[in-house]
């Protein structure tokens, strides 16, 4: 058992709030334990890496005190991990930076930009330490209750993930009843962690707000836009066609790519990736499955370099006993392709292949080879 784990285990006092102190100095850890142990349930870590693991594993932690200069993962890196976490409870965790004589104003300013909640300077006294712990532990308890019942994202004013799932369920039921289509978009800011490190928390928050405005202005009143993660959004598009949704996604990408941010003379590129899913079998679809498919498309767009749309249009299933040749008109598909309606054409390819299969069986080996050459 490591020294830090031994200290953590021995400090559990059953206090009302759990406090995590991260410092590579054994003296500082023992001092904090002595000052806070009577009022709080104190756990400690000896570096940022261990502290980050404890934050992820222990949802009872309500306030974090961290040093800046530590091995393995320093205080700045820890702040970046916390403020860009996908878990909203971790992302909003109060983090109080413990500064020493070696930390100048520039260092404090950097920590503030990275999302530090407050500062306390070494050597600290019991009164100051307890006051900050009490103030921020109380705040975290309050906000956790609010987060569990909230339906609105506080930064953007958009629906949050819980609210989006509820609305998407209603949208899905509506289009099934009325025999309409629906599309879902998953949107994510490209390279957001790197942007966060460069522009700080205030700049990152401003960027998220601007992208939220682009999304809201781009969609119809009946559509639902939600912020579902640190730099990710979801959009429900009831009654939207595959081509209409695809064109909308492309417009959003183009609008965001026009954003420019400057930092110390450097122009920063800001883009989003979008995963678009247009399902076909709506009667058997679920919110979770449709969101997963949109997320899969998003990952493909991100892995391909970002600033692009990846679309999945499900093929409409043929009805039992239906004449498959009546399902697809080749002339109509060619006309759609000429108009640039590639999403709808791509979605119809499985029906086209099934329709042409009897004809392809009649091809000679030479004709098949010629066809392959033409396709290449």
Asked whether residue 107 is domain-assigned, the answer is yes
Q: Which of 123, 149, 175 is the last residue of a domain?
A: 149
Weakest-pLDDT range from 13-22, 105-114, 129-138, 344-353: 344-353
Q: What is the pTM of this model?
A: 0.63
Same domain, 174 and 295: yes
pLDDT at 336: 65
Count of domains forming the chain = 3
Same domain, 212 and 301: yes
Asked whether residue 155 is domain-assigned, the answer is no
Same domain, 298 and 166: yes
pLDDT at 261: 67
Same domain, 39 and 131: yes
Can you give the CATH number for the domain in which 310 is found?
A: 3.30.70.270
Asked whether residue 119 is domain-assigned, the answer is yes
pLDDT in tens, 116-126: 888 887 777 78
Asked whether residue 156 is domain-assigned, the answer is no
Asked whether residue 44 is domain-assigned, the answer is yes
Q: Which of 42-46, 97-101, 142-146, 212-216 has the highest mean pLDDT?
A: 212-216
pLDDT at 352: 72
pLDDT at 354: 72
End-to-end CA distance of the chain: 63
Same domain, 251 and 202: yes
C-beta of residue 68 within 8 angstroms of C-beta of residue 103: yes
pLDDT in tens, 188-243: 999 888 888 778 778 888 899 999 999 999 999 999 999 998 899 999 999 999 99
Same domain, 205 and 282: yes
- Residue 211 exposed, middle or buried by CB count within 10 Å (0-12, 13-18, 19+): buried
Query: Taking 50 as the threshold, does the pLDDT of residue 10 lie above it?
Result: no
If you average pLDDT over residues 14-32, what whole number do you get?
82
pLDDT at 91: 85
pLDDT at 311: 92
Of 112, 247, 223, 243, which is closest to residue 168 (Cα–Cα)? 223
Neighbours of 1 (CB within 10 A): 7
pLDDT at 227: 94
Asked whether residue 52 is domain-assigned, the answer is yes
C-beta of residue 261 within 8 angstroms of C-beta of residue 278: no
Asked whether residue 154 is domain-assigned, the answer is no
Share of the chain above pLDDT 70, in %: 82
Banded pLDDT at 103 (limits 50, 70, 90) = low
pLDDT at 285: 84
If you average pLDDT over residues 242-264, what whole number do you get?
86
Same domain, 337 and 365: yes
84 or 10, higher pLDDT: 84
pLDDT in tens, 287-307: 999 999 999 999 999 999 999
Asked whether residue 141 is domain-assigned, the answer is yes
CB proximity list for 197: less than 8 A, separation 6 or greater: 80, 114
User: Average pLDDT of the chain?
Assistant: 82
Query: Taking 60 as the threshold, does the pLDDT of residue 61 lie above it?
Result: yes
Same domain, 67 and 95: yes
Measured distance CA(240)–CA(237) in Å, rounded: 6
Measured distance CA(244)–CA(62) in Å, rounded: 46
Same domain, 130 and 199: no
Query: Taking 60 as the threshold, does the pLDDT of residue 174 lie above it?
Result: yes
Is omega for the bond preceding 123 within 30 degrees of 0, making it cis?
Answer: yes
Q: Which of 314, 334, 360 is the last residue of a domain?
A: 314
Query: Taking 50 as the threshold, does the pLDDT of residue 344 lie above it?
Result: yes
Same domain, 354 and 308: no
The three-class DSSP label of residue 271 is coil
Measured distance CA(274)–CA(105) in Å, rounded: 40
Can you give the CATH number for the domain in which 97 is found?
A: 3.40.50.2300
Q: Which of 314, 333, 363 is the last residue of a domain?
A: 314
Banded pLDDT at 25 (limits 50, 70, 90) = confident
Same domain, 101 and 218: no
If you average pLDDT over residues 54-60, what whole number do you get?
88
Share of the chain above pLDDT 90, in %: 33
Same domain, 117 and 178: no
If you average pLDDT over residues 263-274, what whole number do you get?
82
C-beta of residue 347 within 8 angstroms of C-beta of residue 312: no
Owning domain of residue 27: 3-149
């Amino acid at each position: 058992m490591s020294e830090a784990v031994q200290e953590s285990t021995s400090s559990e006092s059953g206090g009302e709030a759990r406090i995590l102190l991260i410092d590579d100095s054994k003296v500082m850890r023992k001092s904090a334990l002595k000052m806070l142990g009577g009022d709080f349930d104190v756990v400690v870590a000896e570096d940022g890496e261990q502290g980050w693991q404890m934050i992820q594993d222990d949802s009872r932690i309500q306030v974090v005190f961290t040093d800046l200069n530590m091995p393995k993962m320093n205080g700045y890196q820890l702040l970046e991990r916390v403020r860009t976490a996908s878990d909203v409870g971790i992302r909003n965790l109060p983090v109080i930076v413990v500064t020493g004589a070696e930390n100048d104003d520039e260092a404090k300013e950097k920590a503030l930009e990275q999302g530090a909640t407050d500062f306390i300077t070494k050597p600290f006294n019991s009164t100051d330490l307890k006051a900050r712990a009490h103030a921020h532990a109380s705040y975290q308890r309050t906000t956790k209750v609010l987060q569990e019942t909230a339906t609105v994202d506080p930064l953007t004013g958009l629906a949050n993930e819980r609210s989006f799932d509820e609305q998407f369920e209603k949208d899905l039921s509506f289009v099934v009843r009325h025999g309409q289509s629906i599309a879902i978009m998953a949107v994510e800011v490209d390279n957001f962690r790197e942007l966060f490190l460069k522009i700080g928390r205030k700049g990152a928050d401003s960027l998220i707000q601007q992208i939220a405005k682009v999304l809201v202005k781009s969609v119809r009143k009946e559509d639902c836009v939600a912020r579902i993660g640190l730099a990710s959004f979801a959009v429900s598009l009831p009654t939207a066609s595959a081509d209409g949704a695809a064109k909308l996604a492309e417009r959003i990408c183009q609008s965001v790519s026009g954003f420019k941010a400057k930092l110390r003379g450097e122009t920063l590129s800001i883009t989003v990736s979008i995963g678009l899913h247009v399902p076909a079998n709506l009667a058997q679809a679920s919110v979770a499955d449709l969101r997963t498919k949109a997320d899969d498309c998003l990952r493909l767009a991100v892995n391909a370099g970002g600033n692009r749309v990846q679309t999945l249009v499900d093929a409409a299933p043929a009805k039992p006993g239906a004449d498959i040749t009546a399902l697809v008109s080749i002339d109509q598909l060619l006309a759609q392709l000429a108009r640039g309606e590639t999403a709808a054409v791509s979605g119809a390819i499985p029906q086209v292949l099934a329709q042409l299969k009897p004809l392809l069986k009649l091809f000679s080996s030479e004709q098949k080879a010629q066809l392959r050459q033409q396709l290449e």
